[in-house]
Amino acid sequence: MRRLIRWIRRLLVLGLGIVGVWLIVFVFRITDRRLPSILALSLAYAIAAYVILPRVVRMAVKILQRKSVPSFTVTGDGLPGDPVNLVLVGEFKKLRAAFAKAGWTEADALGLVSSWRMAVAFVFNRPYPAAPFSTLYLFGRGQDIGFEKAIDGSPRKRHHVRFWALNLERGEDTLGTSTFWRNRDRPPLDQPALWVGAGTRDTGFSLTAFTFQVTHATDDDTNAERDFIVGELKSGGTIGDVTWHQGGDRLKTGRVNHYVTDGELAAASLA
């Protein structure tokens, strides 16, 4: 049923594209003498996929989530991204040490060089343990740091998690409330902080469900990835007891983008 609903949505998006092309070619006749057909159609796709549809989705998300605590990150276009499912408490150096002990690698910063290395590694299936992440946003800013663990040494599949730092004093009293998610203050890296994370498992490349933009394919079950990360850290003895908090008032069980999530955050202190 979920797959059927996804395909219905994609057909609706495709239908909107066809209607747009029909308006351009046969109604407004933009391609008649004034603009080459290929250029007009390419322009129509670019505007629809990267301007109009992202704004429509952003507006829909704001309406649907107007009374809810945000429980997922957003992309640069403002579309729903990875669900938030993990919170660690402690200093930056402890966060780094915990993942290093578990055999995870800190991701390289996203740039032209790292993006090219990632593309080459993916095409030729060459290891790239520190491959960069795309930027997702929480608290109005991109992730502060990310860690990953390759699966079978392949750059095409990996466990990975992004983290955003939040002031510890403000965060502890507001965890699970809208104030927690609206706080944009970034604490200094040498002070204890709440590290709010979004962990997922990459499985390849795919297209977004809403606008057909190119993106990474990920495993739907983010609950399993959250539990995997917690298990890795507990095995290394780098976190204390785990407590559970509800990340979104309306997401006790449901879907964010193409993910399945129970909406819970696993929270623990770094040892």
The pLDDT tens digits for 9-47 are 667 766 766 666 666 555 555 545 555 666 666 676 677
Backbone angles phi, psi at 127, to 5 degrees: -60, 140
Give the pLDDT band of residue 143 (cuts 50, 70, 90).
very high
Q: How far is CA 133 from the centre of its chain?
A: 10
Determine the average pLDDT of the residues in 139-149.
Answer: 89
Please provide the distance, in angstroms rounded to a whole number, between the alpha carbons at the two ends of the chain. Answer: 44
Residues 6+ apart with CB under 8 A from 87: 175, 194, 195, 196, 197, 245, 265, 266, 267, 268
Q: What is the pLDDT of residue 251?
A: 34
Task: Give the tens place of pLDDT for each residue, 97-141.
Answer: 999 999 999 999 988 898 888 888 888 888 899 999 888 888 878
- Contact 232/55 with Cβ under 8 angstroms? no
- Contact 197/226 with Cβ under 8 angstroms? no
pTM of the model: 0.69
What are the structural domain ranges in the chain? 2-62, 70-269
